[in-house]
């Protein structure tokens, strides 16, 4: 069987096939300004069997799900916005279109007031994941770092600085860590610190932000983009803010010679390294 998605202009679009006894549910997820919300979740829960289906919206905010006929509670949600709920009847061979579902910002996710915040190393982590000889994953972390966040009058003008002690790298393997500290990799004797700085923040949607900054590693400075999620404010031993972020680094960008390392037979981590930051900061 097949149905057709409705295009934005109301005309029928490309056909979508689905099994007999099933129907199609779709929604175009938008923010309060009418912009698409890619990655938003649409969850269908069957009212009798509690059958659960979850799909994510594509780059244009379109979420599409095929499911067995029946009555469903539909929830549309994404970080930083209040969820939207709907009750739908899915008919066999039919298309139930929710149309444009506009999500409103979550007023409870307050942004910090202007001022300086200090990263709390006891409740923060800087971790990384890389491939070992293209097979298993190597998980590591830096155990010593410090940083600050200067929140501007406009959040977009805020500055973030993080300084990492290169010798504090820890992958739970002593020989590998010694090699990573050597001149083949971090060269900690010549370059004891890794330094990241940014004063450019851009809100993507809701709780998702992008921070474009500069990372200095082994004496080489390169542009780095952090994809961040703001977790909000809490009161615990003072005011605290939280955020998580990820980025990818490529060893060749920082003068680490990949081919030379292979020739020496010293391959311990892959060329691409995923960095994961989990940050908690307290008001200065």
Per residue in 191-221, pLDDT (tens digit) is 999 999 999 999 888 899 999 999 999 888 9
In whole angstroms, give the CA distance from residue 111 to residue 183.
42
In whole angstroms, give the CA distance from residue 83 to residue 75.
7
> Minimum mean pLDDT among 6-10, 62-66, 171-175, 177-181: which range?
6-10
Answer whether residue 108 is part of any domain. no
**Whether residues 142 and 67 fall in one domain:** no
Closest CA to 111 of 204, 15, 243: 243
User: What are the helix and strand counts (H, E) for the chain?
Assistant: 2, 20
Answer whether residue 276 is part of any domain. yes
Answer whether residue 247 is part of any domain. yes
Structure tokens at 58: 């594509």
**Whether residues 57 and 134 fall in one domain:** no
For residue 11, the enclosing domain spans: 2-102
Answer whether residue 110 is part of any domain. no
First to last CA, the chain: 62
**Whether residues 7 and 134 fall in one domain:** no
Q: What is the pLDDT of residue 257?
A: 54
**pLDDT of 183 higher than 80:** yes
Q: What is the largest CA-CA distance in the chain?
A: 68
Per residue in 250-265, pLDDT (tens digit) is 877 766 554 445 445 4
Closest CA to 124 of 18, 242, 257, 6: 242
Domain boundary residue, one of 78, 102, 126: 102
Answer whether residue 147 is part of any domain. yes
Structure tokens at 1: 């069987």
Per residue in 22-59, pLDDT (tens digit) is 899 999 999 998 999 999 999 999 988 878 999 999 99
Pairing of strands 169-170, 62-68: unpaired
Closest CA to 158 of 209, 192, 224: 209
**Whether residues 139 and 42 fall in one domain:** no
**Whether residues 143 and 205 fall in one domain:** yes
Domains identified in the chain, total number: 2
Here the CATH number for the domain that contains residue 176 is: 2.40.128.110
> 93 by DSSP, 3-state: which?
coil
Answer whether residue 109 is part of any domain. no
Per residue in 112-168, pLDDT (tens digit) is 999 999 999 999 999 999 866 556 788 999 999 999 999 999 999 999 999 999 999
Rg (CA), the chain: 24
Pairing of strands 125-131, 84-90: unpaired
Here the CATH number for the domain that contains residue 51 is: 2.60.40.10
């Amino acid at each position: 069987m097949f149905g057709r998605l409705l295009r934005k202009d109301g005309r029928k679009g490309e056909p979508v096939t689905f099994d007999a006894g099933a129907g199609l549910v779709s929604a175009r997820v938008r923010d309060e300004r009418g912009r698409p919300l890619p990655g938003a979740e649409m969850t269908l829960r069957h009212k009798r069997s509690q059958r659960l289906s979850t799909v994510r919206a594509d780059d244009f905010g379109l979420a599409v799900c095929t499911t067995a006929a029946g009555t469903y509670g539909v929830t549309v949600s994404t970080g930083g916005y209040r969820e939207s709920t709907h009750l739908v009847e899915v008919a066999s061979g039919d298309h139930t279109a929710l149309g444009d579902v506009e999500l409103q910002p979550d007023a409870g996710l307050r942004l910090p007031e202007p001022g300086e915040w200090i990263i709390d190393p006891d409740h923060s982590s800087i971790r990384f994941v890389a491939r070992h000889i293209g097979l298993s994953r190597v998980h590591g972390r830096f155990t010593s770092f410090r940083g600050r966040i200067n929140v501007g009058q406009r959040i977009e003008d805020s500055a973030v600085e993080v300084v990492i002690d290169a010798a504090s790298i820890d992958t739970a393997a002593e020989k590998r860590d010694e090699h990573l500290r050597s001149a083949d990799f971090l060269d900690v004797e010549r370059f004891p610190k890794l330094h990241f700085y940014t004063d450019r923040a851009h809100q993507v949607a809701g709780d998702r932000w992008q921070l474009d900054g500069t990372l200095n590693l082994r004496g080489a400075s390169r542009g780095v983009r952090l994809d961040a999620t703001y977790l909000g404010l809490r009161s615990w031993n003072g005011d605290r803010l939280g955020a998580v972020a990820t980025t990818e680094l490529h060893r060749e960008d920082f003068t680490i010679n990949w081919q030379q390392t292979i020739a020496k037979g010293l391959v311990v981590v892959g060329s691409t390294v995923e960095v994961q930051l989990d940050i908690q900061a307290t008001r200065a």
